[in-house]
Structure 1
């Protein structure tokens, strides 16, 4: 049996890192039939490999950019993953960001690099008027798209900073996904550690 889970630029990512993550993150599947349990465990190992590989790729990206992530936590200290993050990011990326200080530092850097044009901020404010009703208007049940007065809305200057942060955050996440797609294109996985959605293995499933 190979001692590595994957090769990143020809360098081995040890299976021990995947095993440690699996040990720290309890299985959520409640399968009882042996064949179903075995399949669930195979998919869980592939999922954990993606999390570990993402961490490895992020470490390398941080080194290339001169970024210094905090010390790596042990797998047992993996942060709780919010269901909203799973919905927004997919389970692999959400878990990788919880598990990997390097991934979080890289994402923060990508967010800082985002340029948000003033026109985009104005456009967001104009298209999402329902998000900017004043508390008083909300209590009165004002319809933001019909019959609302200008005084029923928070002023643009008061909410501009929050909109910029939200748009920068969304842009950073898109940049992170783009980076990850490119970075893992050349990763070679050992048998049993392929992506859970890789159609080359018979029990694949496209769940992120």
Structure 2
């Protein structure tokens, strides 16, 4: 018998229809198979192996669960996400987001205003010490060579001339922004791991990497 819910979140059912709706929506962008489809869902299904369809449903369940958890976290924090977008206007998933965050979280960010709102809030809460910014600059001089120095093939770690690297004050704000972004993502994953502890999945909606089902793959 097919369950009416995809998961229980702290004992409350997450309707299976929300996963079905997500599976019907085109998801634009790159990924690892779960995210790399632009064709309408029925066209995809005609050529999809049963095991791939099962895995895609499990993957989609993770995206929808992440959305629901983010909605609840935003409500708890008094954050108001922007309105939902229609499937036709869903954000594109960037290759770098898939590589850095995994396809589940990258798809949740494309699909879910609440997830984007929560991540932005966590990023804004991060404090980056000046010593960390300076240390990053000192350890990554190759990233701050001037265009002229790059053309001349200057070795950034072999005492380059003062004019061969961009001044610290000129790049400090950009470094701080990147470090704050990285810290926010780390905080987001910490929150997500904790929030998922209250989730119980219905049969057929387990995590795609769960070794308890025969089609499992370690895929994020």
Could you tell me which of 113, 123, 128 is aligned with 1:101? 113
Q: Which secondary structure state, in structure 1, belongs to the residue aligned with residue 3 of structure 2?
A: coil
Q: 2:62 — aligned with what?
A: 50
Name the residue aligned to 2:9. 8
- 1:9-24 aligned at under 5 Å gives the runs 9-24=10-25
Partner of 1:183: 195
Gaps of 5+ in 1: none
Q: Which runs of 4+ in 1 moved over 4 A?
A: 26-29
Q: Which residue of 2 aligns with 1:137?
A: 149
Q: Is there any run of 5+ residues in structure 2 with no aligned partner, and where?
A: 28-33, 38-43
Note if contact 1:4-1:12 (Cα within 8 Å) is conserved in structure 2. Answer: yes
CA contact (8 A) 1:62 1:106 kept: yes
* 1:206 aligned onto 2:218: yes
- 1:147 shift after superposition: 4.6
Q: Deviations over 1:41-75 (max 9, x none)?
A: 00000000000000000000000000000112233
Q: Secondary structure at the match of 1:21?
A: helix
Match of 1:194 among 206, 209, 212: 206
In the TM superposition, 1:37-186 aligns within 5 A as 37-186=49-198
Aligned residues: 207
Task: Measure the CA separation in 1 of the matches of 2:143 and 2:180.
Answer: 18
Report how far residue 77 of structure 1 moved: 3.0
Alignment root-mean-square deviation, CA? 2.0
- Matched position secondary structure for 1:204: coil
How far apart are residue 148 of structure 1 and its match?
A: 1.4
Structure 1 match to 2:31:
none
Distance 2:61 2:89 in 1: 17
Q: Distance in 2 between matches of 1:187 and 1:75?
A: 26
